[in-house]
Amino acid sequence: MVNNNHHKYEYVDEPSIDTELMCSICNKPFVEPVSTPCDHTFCSGCITHWVEKKRKSCPICRLQIKSSEEFTKVSRPLRNILDRLQIKCSTCGQTGLTRDSLDDHLKKICPKMTVSCPGADIKCPWTGVRDELPQHVPICKFESLRSLIGPLIIENEQLNTQREQWWTEKQKLAEQRKKQNIQINELTNKLSTISEGKSIEDN
């Protein structure tokens, strides 16, 4: 199904979850639930996919649905109940998580998530799972050279910015020169017509 986070977690004791909270398209608890004009609720991803790719009607009562613009977000209490459902992280197997804490867990805690070295900003190419990081950092060649590499990288970035500024300046000057050349041409043309007129008068 379209619920893109589904593979990252499993529900704890799924059979005990209230059937009122289940989407009848994916048979899982709602993710970002929306209601149809006929007051049926589905995951936003599920019903959007259904209406766009399958039928322009409600999967439960068959009432016509013209487009996904007719959906409305469900009330906050229902969303809160769903956010507090107990889950287990599929990446590391940790339980005791709630659905809304998964992102934070993956980004900051999950020991089996792939992370990069803190020295990525000074070009260390190392990536690995988070719980291997403490072994890498003490032996990281880039980190050990940070005091040397760091300033060089900053200087290099400054030079790049300067080069870009110069380039814009150069463009501006070229533009100005072009305009001046046009003006000069116009003036010389005028002058030559004037002087031609004069020479006719002189004769």
The helix/strand/coil state of 88 is: strand
Please report the beta strands in the chain, taking only residues with DSSP state E, as ranges in sequence order: 9-11, 33-35, 41-43, 72-73, 86-89, 97-98, 114-116, 127-129
CB of residue 169 to Zn ion, shortest distance in Å = 38
CA 145 distance to own-chain centroid: 32
Site of tokens 């060089």? 152
- Tell me the Cα Rg of the chain: 33
Residues 33-72 interacting with Zn ion (rule: CB under 5 A): 38, 40, 43, 46, 58, 60-61, 63
The sign one gets for the Cα dihedral 122, 128, 130, 132 is negative
Helices (H) then strands (E): counts for the chain: 6, 8
Return the range that interacts with Zn ion (CB under 5 A); candidates 65-73, 81-89, 146-154, 176-184: 81-89
Residues 4-23 interacting with Zn ion (rule: CB under 5 A): 23
CB of residue 15 to Zn ion, shortest distance in Å = 17
Determine the size of the site formed for Zn ion (CB under 5 A).
Answer: 22
CB of residue 145 to Zn ion, shortest distance in Å = 10
**Nearer Cβ to Zn ion, position 144 or 185?**
144
**Nearer Cβ to Zn ion, position 85 or 124?**
124
One-letter amino acid for residue 154 of the chain? I
**Nearer Cβ to Zn ion, position 46 or 82?**
46
Q: In 3D, which of 84, 74, 81 has the Cα closest to residue 42?
A: 74
CB of residue 14 to Zn ion, shortest distance in Å = 14
CB of residue 136 to Zn ion, shortest distance in Å = 6
Residues 97-156 interacting with Zn ion (rule: CB under 5 A): 110, 117, 119, 124, 126, 140, 142
Given a contact cutoff of 8 angstroms between Cβ atoms, the answer to whether 23 and 33 are in contact is yes
CB of residue 94 to Zn ion, shortest distance in Å = 5
Q: Which residues bind Zn ion (CB under 5 A)?
A: 23, 25-26, 38, 40, 43, 46, 58, 60-61, 63, 89, 91-92, 94, 110, 117, 119, 124, 126, 140, 142
